[in-house]
């Protein structure tokens, strides 16, 4: 099946590289025969299973785009609603969503049963209910995918989510007469720190491990070890820009440094950073405190029915002409209405006829090695931090490892080069815009790029965002605003929640708010910033919060509101914490010149 080539091959290569047998990888989550068909690209995709398989391989799915059937998307949405309500401490509403989940026909499958039971355990623990009840739910959750937990631990073939369940069980049991041994948590923590997790997976688990190991190391026994693990956890959280565990890790690090009588000024910086995060969470009625099993929501989803319908209309095709030689017109109508799920082969044929991608799982660029997707993450991170020299080295490495004859690959590399050229103040702005438009035409045929009805992929959004940024630099704020508004409308018109487009939606929304601010649409800019911050919190993202807080601070300053000082301080603390050094220097000079820190 041509359209499914890629994910099976990618899984096979990752498994072989890690030296893992198929039986080890699929234990508790899939039959061996089903998994073998997945690797051979002969199996309809089970997206939740792919999530867990990738997790067990220590790899992230954040950079994969899933084209989901509507019923599958609704389950992901339901899970996110459960987490959101727990973050808001709305226990009854979270339980109602779990009750709704229980009614789903897939709820009895191991991965779904596990999520339901673990969230019930988490809610019960946060509400202070009996430890026995928490443990009952927790043991049920663990057994779903870890029927032989001890043997599975020996192989090391467990995901960050599964390791978190084992850590949580140990922590919960400390409050009972059946306390688990200290040696168990020590061994578990060592396993976790040794496992070959990708950075975006590693940050999900090592902070929790660092918090728990500090509970069993006696005073003076091995404080150097605790400090080392705490610093590793803090560095991972800062580097990956995550919120979960950050206040607790900062608190633990502060205690360690105070015992050592370390630099008081540095300790105060850490204390202010911790206070800042807790303030922002409180202001938006979100709390991650003791939410041990929160799963970061950094995903990129499309729904097949909506994708086909919107693409057909953008292509100016009738259902009759699109369905010809593929399926009946009636079948296509049911697919577009979400009443019938297209098999992967049909989805591919339908989208290919409209010159658009129809793979159920898309990597963005054509790659044979997962390492390239990891490099893409690094490139984006350094661009976000304005560390352009590092970003350039990463881009050159990507270019050396991919096939430039593939249109998507050529587009990605050339767009990256233009981004670097612009941010390093090289080249004529108008020429760069024309080059970007030409690159956009590689994958997108259009008459008016800012009016197209096509569903845009992440790379196309990135190109449009860069064009808008260049117009912004030319002080053509109206044109920049028009592009940002157009992109925002594409998300608003979709059935998919913004949190499931976090990487590209987040990239656009903050710039949109800034353009509104520059053109004196203060009310709209404030609302846009607040919406963005709320979604970032629900996704567990911390690194991007500072930009929106800065925009709000500037608006309040212009309106003469004293509270702007609070927002400027929050902005500075977050920029420093999450290694946004270039932006931190600019903002620090700005507030000092205006005496806004007193």
Residue pair 486/450 in contact (Cβ under 8 Å)? The answer is yes
**Strand, helix or coil at 301?**
strand
Mean pLDDT of 568-593: 94
pLDDT band at 524 (very low <50, low <70, confident <90, very high): very high
Is the model more confident about 447 or about 272? 272
- DSSP category for residue 129: -
- DSSP category for residue 342: P
540 in the Ramachandran plot: left (φ > 0), alpha (ψ -120 to 50) or beta?
Answer: left
Q: What separation in angstroms does the CA of 249 have from each of 4, 204, 227, 246, 268?
A: 42, 13, 11, 5, 15
Mean pLDDT of 343-372: 88
**Strand, helix or coil at 548?**
helix
**Strand, helix or coil at 184?**
helix
pLDDT value for 446: 63
pLDDT band at 1 (very low <50, low <70, confident <90, very high): very low
End-to-end CA distance of the chain: 65
pLDDT band at 452 (very low <50, low <70, confident <90, very high): confident
pLDDT value for 2: 41
The distance from CA 54 to its chain's CA centroid, rounded to whole angstroms, is 15
pLDDT band at 4 (very low <50, low <70, confident <90, very high): very low
**Strand, helix or coil at 387?**
coil
Longest dimension (CA), the chain: 76
Query: Is 218 a residue whose pLDDT tops 70?
Result: no
- Residue 300 pairs in a beta bridge with 65, 501
Percent of the chain with pLDDT over 90: 76
Q: How far apart are CA 528 and CA 509, in angstroms?
A: 7
Q: How far apart are CA 388 and CA 382, in angstroms?
A: 7
Q: Where are the alpha helices (DSSP H) in 241-360?
A: 246-259, 264-283, 304-314, 319-323, 329-336, 344-353
Mean pLDDT of 306-334: 94
The pLDDT tens digits for 93-147 are: 999 999 999 999 999 999 999 999 999 999 999 999 999 999 999 999 999 999 9
212 Cβ contact list (under 8 Å, min separation 6)? 167, 170, 171, 185, 189
Q: What is the CATH number of domain 376-593?
A: 1.25.40.10
pLDDT value for 503: 81
Q: How far apart are CA 459 and CA 463, in angstroms?
A: 6
Q: Considering only CA atoms, which of 471, 538, 480, 537 is closest in space to residue 513?
A: 480
pLDDT band at 585 (very low <50, low <70, confident <90, very high): very high
pLDDT band at 181 (very low <50, low <70, confident <90, very high): confident
- DSSP category for residue 317: -
Query: Is 177 a residue whose pLDDT tops 50?
Result: yes
The radius of gyration computed from the CA coordinates of the chain, to the nearest angstrom, equals 24
Q: Which of 190-204, 447-461, 488-502 has the lowest mean pLDDT?
A: 447-461
Q: What separation in angstroms does the CA of 332 have from each of 358, 485, 496?
A: 15, 31, 21
Single pTM value for the model? 0.93
Mean pLDDT of 152-181: 90
129 Cβ contact list (under 8 Å, min separation 6)? none
Q: Which of 205-214, 302-311, 365-374, 527-536 has the lowest mean pLDDT?
A: 365-374
| Total count of residues recorded for the chain | 598
> 376: buried, middle or exposed (CB in 10 Å: 19+, 13-18, 0-12)?
buried
């Amino acid at each position: 099946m041509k359209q499914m080539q890629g994910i099976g091959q990618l899984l096979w290569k990752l498994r072989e590289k890690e030296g893992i047998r198929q039986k080890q990888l699929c234990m508790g989550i899939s039959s061996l025969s089903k998994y073998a068909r997945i690797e051979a690209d002969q199996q309809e995709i089970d997206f939740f299973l792919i999530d867990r398989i990738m997790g067990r391989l220590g790899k992230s799915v954040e950079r994969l785009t899933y084209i989901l059937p509507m019923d599958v998307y609704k389950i992901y949405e339901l899970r996110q609603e459960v987490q959101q309500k727990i973050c808001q401490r709305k226990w009854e509403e979270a339980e109602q969503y779990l009750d709704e989940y229980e009614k789903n026909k897939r709820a009895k499958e191991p991965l779904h049963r596990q999520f339901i039971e673990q969230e019930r355990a988490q809610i019960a623990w946060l509400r202070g209910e009996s430890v026995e009840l928490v443990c009952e739910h927790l043991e049920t959750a663990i057994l779903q995918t870890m029927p032989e937990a001890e043997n599975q631990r020996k192989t090391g073939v467990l995901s960050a989510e599964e390791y978190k369940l084992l850590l949580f069980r140990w922590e919960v049991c400390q409050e009972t007469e059946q306390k688990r041994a200290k040696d168990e948590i020590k061994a578990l923590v060592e396993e976790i720190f040794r496992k070959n997790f990708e950075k975006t997976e590693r940050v999900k688990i090592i902070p929790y491990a660092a918090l728990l190991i500090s509970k069993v190391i006696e005073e003076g026994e091995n404080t150097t070890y605790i400090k080392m693990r705490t610093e590793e956890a803090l560095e991972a959280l800062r580097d990956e820009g995550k919120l979960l565990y950050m206040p607790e890790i900062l608190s633990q690090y502060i205690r360690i440094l105070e015992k050592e009588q370390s630099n008081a000024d540095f300790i105060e910086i850490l204390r202010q950073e911790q206070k800042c995060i807790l303030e922002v969470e409180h202001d938006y009625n979100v709390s991650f405190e003791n939410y041990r099993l929160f799963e970061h929501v950094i995903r990129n989803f499309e729904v097949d029915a909506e994708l086909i319908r919107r693409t057909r209309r953008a292509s100016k095709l009738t259902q009759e002409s699109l369905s010809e030689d593929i399926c009946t017109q009636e079948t296509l109508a049911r697919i577009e209405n979400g009443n019938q799920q297209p098999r992967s082969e049909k989805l591919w044929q339908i989208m290919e006829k409209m010159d658009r991608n129809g793979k159920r799982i898309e990597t963005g660029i054509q790659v044979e090695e997962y390492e390239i997707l990891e490099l893409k993450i690094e490139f984006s991170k350094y661009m976000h931090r304005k560390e352009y020299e590092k970003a350039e080295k990463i881009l050159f490495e990507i270019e050396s490892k991919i096939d430039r004859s593939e249109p998507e690959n050529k587009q990605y590399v050339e767009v990256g080069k233009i981004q670097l050229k612009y941010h390093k103040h090289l080249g004529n702005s108008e020429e760069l815009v024309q080059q970007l438009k030409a690159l956009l035409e590689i994958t997108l045929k259009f008459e008016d790029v800012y009016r197209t009805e096509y569903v845009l992929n992440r790379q196309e959004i990135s190109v449009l965002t860069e064009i808008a940024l260049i117009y912004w630099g030319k002080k053509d704020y109206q044109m920049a605003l028009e592009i940002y508004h157009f992109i925002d409308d594409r998300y608003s018109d979709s059935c998919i929640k913004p949190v499931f487009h976090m990487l590209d939606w987040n990239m656009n929304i903050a710039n949109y708010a800034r353009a509104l601010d520059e053109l004196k649409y203060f009310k709209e800019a404030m609302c846009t910033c607040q919406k963005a911050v709320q979604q970032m919190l629900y996704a567990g993202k911390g690194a991007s919060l500072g930009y929106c807080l800065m925009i709000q601070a500037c608006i309040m300053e212009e309106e003469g509101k004293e509270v702007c000082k609070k927002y400027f301080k929050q902005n500075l603390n977050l920029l420093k914490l999450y290694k946004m050094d270039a932006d931190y220097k600019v903002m620090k000079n700005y507030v000092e010149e205006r005496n806004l820190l007193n």
